[in-house]
Amino acid sequence: MSADILFDLDGTLIDSSPGILASFGRVLAAHGLAPVVPLEASLIGPPLAVTLQQVSGIADEARLARLVEAFKQDYDTAGCLATKVFPDVAAGLAQLAAAGSRLFIVTNKRMLPTRRILEALGLARHFAGIHTRDETEPMALSKTVVTQRVVARYGIERSRAFFVGDSDEDAAAARENSLAFIHAAYGYGAAGIAETPAAVLDRFSRLPDLIATLSRERCALPERP
């Protein structure tokens, strides 16, 4: 059964932590800084400036802006090349697309490295749309806003759509747009999320069958008066 499926990227489809954390380390060292928190995968997900403030301890906007630009230069040329795809993602996406589902990316990652990574990993061809916060000017305030735009642009029927992600931010984007949320528990948000998802995904290979099951269950629900 076909559906519209929105995917978070980092921690859901790809393991970008080695490249991101290495770029953080190089940028901080180049600016004479040491990380004030451990550089670990759980940092990944929020907008770049938020995470850089967290790892550097710097609140000054001008200094933080310089760190952001330095990170972009390092990550776009070196860090993103260390990205790995999670097991079974390529085959699972191909299976979902072949079944008629429309697939979309909704991510906090910037468009340039997002497209570079998806093309390099051979995943871009599966998606009907790739969407980021920085695709608009001004930049979208949140992933929830990007999700709202995707739903409107593609005429997505909320009752047959899903959002697959690993974080509370992903869960919020789904909830605030009335989409069923599937928690990718193998990702960076493995410790769990604050709210109960429609389903928990422990490995990506289960997703096609899970989508089919959830779609049938939702179709069987009685209509509201």
* Structural domains in the chain (count): 2
- The half-sphere exposure of 92 on its side-chain side, counting CA atoms within 13 A, is 21
225 in a domain, yes or no?
no
User: Does 162 share its domain with 139?
Assistant: yes
User: Does 43 share its domain with 114?
Assistant: no
Could you tell me which residues come within 8 angstroms of residue 122 by beta carbon, excluding any fewer than 6 positions away?
A: 90
Domain that holds residue 200: 4-15+84-220
User: Does 26 share its domain with 109?
Assistant: no
- The CATH number of the domain holding residue 58 is 1.10.150.240
Sequence-distant contacts of 171-180: CB under 8 A, at least 24 apart: 171/195, 171/197, 172/143, 172/144, 173/106, 173/142, 173/143, 173/144, 173/146, 173/147, 174/6, 174/147, 176/144, 176/147, 176/148, 177/144, 177/147, 177/148, 177/151, 179/6, 179/147, 179/151, 180/214, 180/218
77 in a domain, yes or no?
yes
User: Does 117 share its domain with 169?
Assistant: yes
135 in a domain, yes or no?
yes
- The CATH number of the domain holding residue 181 is 3.40.50.1000
Q: What is the pLDDT of residue 158?
A: 96
User: Does 166 share its domain with 149?
Assistant: yes
User: Does 94 share its domain with 196?
Assistant: yes
Q: What is the pLDDT of residue 190?
A: 67
Q: What is the pLDDT of residue 222?
A: 55
Nearest to 40 by CA among 61, 27, 24, 56: 24
Per-residue pLDDT of the chain (225 residues; tens, 9 = 90+): 689 999 999 999 999 999 999 999 999 999 999 999 999 988 887 889 999 999 999 999 999 999 999 999 999 999 999 999 999 999 999 999 999 999 999 999 999 999 999 999 999 999 999 999 999 999 999 999 999 999 999 999 999 999 999 999 999 999 999 999 999 999 887 667 888 999 999 999 999 999 999 998 887 655 444
Can you say how many angstroms the Cα of residue 206 is from the centroid of all Cα atoms in its chain? 19
Q: What is the pLDDT of residue 225?
A: 45
User: Does 11 share its domain with 31?
Assistant: no
User: Does 176 share its domain with 215?
Assistant: yes
User: Does 94 share its domain with 57?
Assistant: no
User: Does 112 share its domain with 183?
Assistant: yes
- The half-sphere exposure of 41 on its side-chain side, counting CA atoms within 13 A, is 17
